[in-house]
């Protein structure tokens, strides 16, 4: 038996990988990583190589002995891994651009993870993650799958329902909210804690604590006064004061798509005119990043990566890996089986909750009943997600239609059908389950 951990990063050629590597380097003392395998597909070969070289420079600079590998042979990489991290984007930014454009044609929010865009992404991603899980089941049955491939809720739900792989779904929204509030209020973010409850990209902060003291009222007042909590990729629309008071909870940035649908739609349409889809913007950012990554003198994670949008994601992943490996029993906000954590939802559905993380995985903290003002929306989105998993697995047209129609952002059957037909057409190469 060998010493130290084997980590496999699927989608290793992603621009996020340097943050992940930095995360491992920072935690050298607690996480003995023996080898890191960066896996990608043929189309990503070039990027993979750039990342591989940068990674090696970073490791060398840090004076570590961790071995780095690059490969297109996923199975070989997965074999005997301790942790498998997935950060893939099936269909690439081209598919994402379509996810964002197609709904807009019908005056519906076009967003990567939420609404019909996220639905299309789920349909493309499910077959690939399912394949990966089948390989893990055989080649690394004790491995943890740390998934931050979106839509995290649907993917985690699928893995827990249809495979035997141990998985935790991870998102940077909760940590991003904490950091934002810390910045607004002028505190160290480590002093803040939020009781999160809900679903991925549909998570609410029930209570905010500063050093354990309840400061929820202050935070809501700040929000109601126009201080915004948002993320790089979501327009910074200000919350209505009365609404925040009525809600009495902290919404997440993505909630804007549901509560300010009209304004967000206008913003998206305007942005499309002015600067193209978010996918196209990201493409330009990515090109710039990779140009930077190529420079042989670069041997640390460049600051520019933080502009990319997914800040904290990779670091949260490594922090989670360390909590598992070291049985830290510390609290992370993750996507896991509900297990009673939210009384109003079945035990066997995936929710996003604070959970105690240790070697045996994530144990959610019981949060009781959902406040009535959020129960409806959460139930609606959860039903949509469950149907999306079913559609993504079965490739059944009607289930897909029912799923889309159940998404609160989709206004009618007629529109649902048009969007669905467009999605199936545009993604035909990535949807084997619909083309049996």
Interface with a second copy (CB under 8 A) = 193, 195, 207, 209, 211-214, 240, 242-243, 245-247, 259-263, 326-327, 329-331, 338-343, 347, 356, 358-360, 363-369, 372-373, 375-377, 379-384, 386-387, 397-399, 401-402, 405-406, 408, 411-415, 417
For residue 151, say if its preceding peptide bond is cis, omega within 30 degrees of 0.
yes
Report the interhelical angle of 115-139 vs 413-426 (nearest 10°).
50
Q: Is 187 a catalytic residue?
A: no
What is the number of other CB atoms lying within 10 angstroms of the CB of residue 358? 16
Residue 133 annotated as part of some ligand binding site: no
| Residue 305: DSSP 8-state | G
The tokens of 337 are what? 């089986």
Q: Are 320 and 359 in contact (CB under 8 A)?
A: no
Q: Which residues contact 264 (CB under 8 A, 6 or more apart)?
A: 109, 235, 237, 256, 257
Burial of residue 299 (CB within 10 Å: 0-12, 13-18, 19+) is middle
Residue 162 annotated as part of some ligand binding site: no
Which of 420, 361, 419, 368 minimizes the C-alpha distance to 396? 420
Query: Considering the complex, what minimum distance in angstroms separates the CB of residue 308 from a second copy?
Result: 29
**Cβ proximity to a second copy, 20 vs 109, nearer residue:** 109
Query: Considering the complex, what minimum distance in angstroms separates the CB of residue 75 from a second copy?
Result: 28
Query: Considering the complex, what minimum distance in angstroms separates the CB of residue 242 from a second copy?
Result: 6
CA torsion 372→373→376→382, rounded to 10°?
-100
**Residue spans of beta strands (DSSP E) within 148-237:** 166-169, 192-199, 202-210, 213-214
Query: Considering the complex, what minimum distance in angstroms separates the CB of residue 220 from a second copy?
Result: 12
Residue 171 annotated as part of some ligand binding site: yes
The tokens of 156 are what? 């985690």
**Cβ proximity to a second copy, 193 vs 232, nearer residue:** 193
Q: Report the C-alpha gap between 395 and 1 in whole angstroms.
A: 42
**Cβ proximity to a second copy, 312 vs 384, nearer residue:** 384
**Cβ proximity to a second copy, 10 vs 197, nearer residue:** 197
The tokens of 121 are what? 């992404």
Query: Considering the complex, what minimum distance in angstroms separates the CB of residue 384 from a second copy?
Result: 6
Residue 96 annotated as part of some ligand binding site: yes
Per annotation, catalytic residue among 16, 254, 312, 430: 254
**Cβ proximity to a second copy, 42 vs 213, nearer residue:** 213
Q: Report the C-alpha gap between 162 and 187 in whole angstroms.
A: 43
Annotated binding site for substrate: 96, 150
The catalytic site residues sit at 254
Positions at the binding site for Mn(2+): 171, 201
> What are the binding residues?
96, 150, 171, 201
């Amino acid at each position: 038996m060998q010493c130290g951990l084997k980590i496999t990063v699927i989608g290793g050629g992603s621009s996020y990988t340097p943050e992940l590597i930095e995360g491992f380097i920072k935690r050298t003392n607690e996480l003995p990583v023996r080898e890191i395998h960066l896996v990608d597909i043929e189309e990503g070969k070039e990027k993979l190589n750039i990342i591989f070289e940068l990674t090696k420079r970073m490791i060398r600079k840090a004076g570590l002995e961790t071995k780095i590998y690059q490969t297109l042979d996923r199975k070989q990489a997965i074999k005997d891994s301790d942790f498998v991290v997935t950060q893939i984007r099936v269909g690439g930014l081209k598919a994402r651009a379509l996810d964002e454009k197609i709904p807009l044609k019908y005056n519906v929010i076009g967003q990567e993870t939420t609404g019909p865009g996220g639905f299309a992404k789920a349909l493309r991603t499910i077959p690939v993650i399912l394949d990966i899980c089948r390989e893990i089941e055989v080649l690394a049955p004790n491995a943890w799958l740390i998934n931050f491939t979106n839509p995290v809720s649907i993917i985690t739900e699928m893995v827990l329902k249809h495979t035997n792989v141990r998985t935790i779904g991870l998102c940077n929204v909760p940590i991003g909210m904490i950091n934002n509030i810390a910045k607004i209020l002028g505190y160290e973010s480590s002093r803040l804690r939020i009781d999160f409850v809900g679903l991925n990209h549909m998570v609410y902060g029930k209570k905010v604590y500063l050093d354990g003291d309840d400061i929820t009222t202050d935070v809501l007042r700040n929000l109601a006064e126009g201080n915004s909590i948002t993320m790089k990729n979501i327009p910074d629309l200000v919350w209505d004061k009365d609404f925040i008071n009525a809600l009495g909870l902290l919404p997440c940035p993505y909630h804007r798509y549901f509560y300010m649908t009209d304004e967000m739609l206008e913003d998206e349409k305007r942005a499309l005119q002015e600067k193209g889809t978010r996918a196209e913007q990201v493409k330009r950012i990515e090109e710039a990043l990779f140009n930077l990554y190529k420079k042989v003198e670069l041997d640390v994670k460049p600051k520019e990566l933080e502009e990319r949008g997914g800040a904290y994601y990779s670091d949260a992943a490594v922090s989670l890996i360390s909590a598992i490996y070291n049985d830290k029993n510390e609290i992370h906000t993750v996507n896991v089986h509900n297990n009673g954590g939210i009384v109003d939802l079945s035990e066997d559905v995936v929710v996003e909750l604070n959970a105690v993380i240790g070697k045996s995985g994530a144990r959610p903290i019981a949060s009781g009943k959902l406040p009535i003002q959020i129960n409806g929306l959460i139930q609606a989105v959860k039903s949509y997600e469950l149907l999306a998993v079913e559609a993504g697995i079965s490739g059944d047209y009607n289930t897909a239609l029912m799923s889309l129609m159940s998404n609160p952002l989709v206004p009618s059957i007629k529109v649902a059908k048009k969007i669905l037909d467009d999605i199936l057409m545009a993604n035909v190469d990535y949807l084997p389950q619909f083309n049996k």
